[in-house]
Structure 1
């Protein structure tokens, strides 16, 4: 029986994560997909949150990845913390068996446990809707990708206390590595 293990990325996993990203985002016109460089640069910066870089280990092999990193929501001089989901990847030989959904769900649960309130993503609305994401623009969130409409999405996580303020609204500011994607 093959076992699925979902866990935070360990520093020793860097090479395996790079291979999963490179295979999942492979294109004939580039040797290193931008998603690989994005994760490398995020890993080296202030937006990196080690407990929120999740891997899916299937049969002892790392085959899936979901990353949550820090972004800021800015409005009226206030800088509120939020997260961005991405990239999400599954090795091609293990796609379509639920590993992507499992590793995303593990990342969302880890964020909830850490008391995070808001996650944004740019991706397929039909896919991310199953996790509770909906249009970010309808939540008062803007970004360089707002003009894309439905793919610009957000998820409000449950509050940890009953008197917690509502999630922030405003312009979502991404760390510099995102400008290269």
Structure 2
């Protein structure tokens, strides 16, 4: 089964709600994309559809982050959520969505992409805890991973890495 990935359009709203509602049990997780959009922090949403039937398979969202390196602002984004309907898991849909999001953000000029997730899964895309080390973040730790999108992450003092405010609802919920 082959997927077609495209940027979300207004007509995709019902499919986005469907995927998020089925993939996340907690309302805060299911509503994250909506809140990011309302707050103006959503940078990109990509939808995966079955090539033959056009049925939705999953999505990935990317949002703005506030990042400073050595006191200077730097362009950064957060990859979250990645959501694939249960019947399409294990089909390569998540991997295709993540790779497409990385490519688009690299082309857009983002310096770093962060994800809060399982290192064993995200390491295959180049994310590492080492790239995220030294950034002051409420999510700092072994599951805060980063990917250097431009190949020029400066060594030395880091700074602050702040997710959009909508992520705080996940910690509270």
TM-score range, shorter chain: 0.7 to 0.9
Match of 2:143 in 1: 151
Q: CA deviation at 1:140?
A: 2.4
- Structure 1, unmatched stretches of 5+, are none
DSSP 3-state at the match of 1:60: coil
Q: Partner of 1:54 in structure 2?
A: 46
Tell me the distance in 2 between the aligned counterparts of 1:71 and 1:140. 16
1:94 paired residue among 67, 88, 91: 88
1:35 to 6, 9, 29: 29
TM-score scaled by length of structure 2: 0.87
SS at match of 1:130: helix
For normalisation by structure 1, the TM-score amounts to: 0.83
Cα separation, partners in 2 of 1:8 and 1:153, compared to 1, 3 Å: same
Deviations 1:155-176 (A, max 9, x none): 00135xxxx7738931111221
CA RMSD of aligned residues (A): 2.1
Is the Cα–Cα contact under 8 Å of residues 71 and 159 in structure 2 kept in the other structure? no
Which stretch shifts more, 9-18 or 69-78? 69-78
Q: What pairs up with 1:94-113 in 2 under 5 angstroms?
A: 94-113=88-107
State whether residues 67 and 85 of structure 1, in contact with CA within 8 Å, keep that contact through their aligned partners in structure 2.
yes
Match of 1:21 in 2: 20
Structure 2 gaps of 5+ residues are none
Task: Report the Cα distance in structure 1 between the residues aligned to 2:130 and 2:137, rounded to whole angstroms.
Answer: 9
Q: What does residue 66 of structure 1 align with?
A: 60
How far did residue 142 of structure 1 move?
A: 2.6
